[in-house]
Structures are given as structure tokens and as C-alpha cells.
Amino acid sequence: MKVRIRKTVAIILCICMCVTPLSIEAKTKKTSGKDGKNITWNYDKQTKTLTFSGSGPISDFEMDGHSAEPGWYDWSEKAEHVVIEEGITVIGEMALYHFMNVKSVKLPETLTEIKCDAFEYNLELKNINLPESLKTIGEGAFELCRKLEISEMPKNVKRIGEGAFENCQTIKKFTFPNNVRKIERRVMGDNRNLQDVRLSSNATRICGGAFYNCKKLKVLDIPKSVTRVAMSAFKGSGLKKIVLPENVKRIDNGNEDGRKVFKKRYGLLPTKNLRVIEIHSKKVKKIEKNSFGGLSRKVVIKVPKSVKKKYIKMLKKSGLSKKIRIKALKKK
């Protein structure tokens, strides 16, 4: 919630800056400076390149109207390239937020963490190299990077935060590294050209909205390691079939307000292509209310024959419409 509030403030402040007359600019833009003791930055006007040098982390930054902006932020509307040199280990919160014209970013092999919102709203960002040293990608780190071309994460990444790649419209295929066990909320949400997702073979949980509104999504194989799934992860997606594997113990709603997952709201998020939901697990202990709410009558739910009566009772109790057919899975 704190991150969301901070983002709202940041957007309002950006709008205010855009409408402020240029004549009241009070300071001359510096082309170089320091960040703490160990980091220096330099902006080259000719190449439109912002370069960070030194060792350790680039500082966190809060665009809240009170905290001082870092000096390099003066070039947020001009910079087209960012180079972060060897020795730097962390890119701080909102460090390069709203650099709208940056097209490329070069990262060092010493980098271990990209913090929340670090590159959010870099609308023109297309090329970035994610080094093998990288372990953490924070919440909203690349949100709204609509031209970003990336498909596979470095193998050492252990966490990809909530909304990290939300609304990245150019991504067509994405593979999660095997160290990522939790598929966070909205992590790939609203990527309308995403077609193919490969989850970590060690994933245990899929959270709400993870792939919401991915209208062209056709391939998503959920591994046997998954024990908990939020059905809102798939709302508005292009999937025709959802298979919940044999070790799933809990089925969540995943919507923050608990509303019916598949119900149209203001004409948004229709799940048009879905026809089959298969629950292969015989271990389901809980189905949250409205997890299957709003499903089209064209959808068929299939469950193991040995637990069919039990699951029918659980599904009805969770609010499943009487119009939805529940069938037994065929034996292989």
C-alpha cells in the first residue's frame, strides 16, 4: 500500500512539473555529481548518456514533494541511454523512475538487486541486459516499460516482486528462473501480447492477478510443485484451459475485495476463451468465496472422480453458479 501511495504522489508531481512554465526554472542543470560517498554520476549532453560509477548501492529516492531530488533527475526528460558501471551493487527505489526517453540500459556484473519502481514508466526502454549476478527484482521495477524486450531471467534471480513487469506490452514469452518459488501479484499483468509463460519448476504459489488481462496468453503450464493458486491470476486471459495440478491444497480468490473473479466489471476483463478448468488434486482443503464466480456457462469444471461429491459441495459453497457443469476427469 505504501508503494501505491508513493506512486500516486509521484504521478501528480510529474503532471505539475509538466505544466510549470519553463521561465520559473530556478537552477542551472548540473552534468555531474555525487550520490553518497562512493557513487558519482555524469551526463553527456552529446550522447544523451547518463553514467553511474563507483561501488556499492545507488540511493533510494522518494518523489514525495518533500525529499530532495537527486541531481541526475534533471536529465529525466533528456537522457536516452543509461550506463551503470562495474562496482555498483544495487539500484535504489525510484532511482530512474519516469525517465521517459531512455532507450537502453547497461547493467554491471556486480549488480545484485533492482529495487521497487527503479525503472518504472520508462516508456521508450527497449534494451537492457540483466546480469547473472542479479538476485532480486523489486515491486514495479519495470512497470509500464511498454517497449521492453525481455523473455528470460538470469538463473540466480530468487524474487520478482509484485507488478515488476506489469503493463510491459512488448513481451511475448517469459520464463521464470527455478529459484522463484512465489509468482507475485500482477507480476506479468496486463501484458496484452504475452503468449507463452514458463513457470519455475519449484514454484509453490501463484498470487492474484499474476497474468490478468493477458488477452493473447495461450500457454501456461502450472508445475506439480504448486500448492496454492489464486484464480484471479487468470482473469481476462486468453487461456482456453486451466489445469490445477495434483498437489494444490488451496484455491484462493485473489481479488483484494473478494468479488467474483470472472465477472465482468464495467465491461472490463472478460475471460472469453476459457472452456475447461481441471482440478487434478485430491488434496484441496479450501476454496475461497467467489474464486470461480462469474464463469460463463460454457465452462466445464473437471475434478477427480473419487472426490467429486466433496468438491461439488465445496464449489457450491464457494458461490459457483448452478449453471456450471462439474464432471469427473477421465482416467488416463
CA distance linking residue 161 with residue 182, whole number of Å: 9
Closest CA to 216 of 181, 240, 182: 240
44 confidence band (pLDDT: 50, 70, 90): very high
Find the mean pLDDT for residues 316-320. 96
Count of beta carbons in the 10 Å neighbourhood of residue 224: 13
Count of beta carbons in the 10 Å neighbourhood of residue 161: 23
Res 20 pLDDT > 80? no
Amino acid identity at 166: E
CA distance linking residue 160 with residue 137, whole number of Å: 5
Classify the phi-psi angles of 290: left when phi > 0, otherwise alpha if psi is within -120 to 50, otherwise beta: left
Closest CA to 292 of 309, 304, 274, 306: 274
pLDDT score, position 6: 57
Find the mean pLDDT for residues 95-116. 97
Res 1 pLDDT > 70? no
Beta strands 56-57; 39-44: pairing state? unpaired
pLDDT score, position 25: 44
14 confidence band (pLDDT: 50, 70, 90): low
| DSSP assignments along 158-197, one per residue | -EE-TTTTTT-TT--EEE--TT--EE-TTTTTT-TT--EE
CA distance linking residue 48 with residue 127, whole number of Å: 16
CA distance linking residue 327 with residue 304, whole number of Å: 9
Instruction: Give 327 or 16, the one with higher predicted confidence.
Output: 327
- Residue pair 236/210 in contact (Cβ under 8 Å)? The answer is no
pLDDT score, position 24: 38
| DSSP assignments along 87-119, one per residue | TEEEEPTTTTTT-TT--EEE--TT--EE-TTTT
Res 27 pLDDT > 70? no
Classify the phi-psi angles of 190: left when phi > 0, otherwise alpha if psi is within -120 to 50, otherwise beta: left
Closest CA to 107 of 76, 71, 141: 141
69 confidence band (pLDDT: 50, 70, 90): confident
pLDDT score, position 28: 81
Which residues touch 17 (CB under 8 Å, ≥6 apart)? none
Res 7 pLDDT > 70? no
Count of beta carbons in the 10 Å neighbourhood of residue 331: 6
- Residue pair 233/210 in contact (Cβ under 8 Å)? The answer is yes
Return mean pLDDT, the chain. Answer: 92
Find the mean pLDDT for residues 200-224. 96
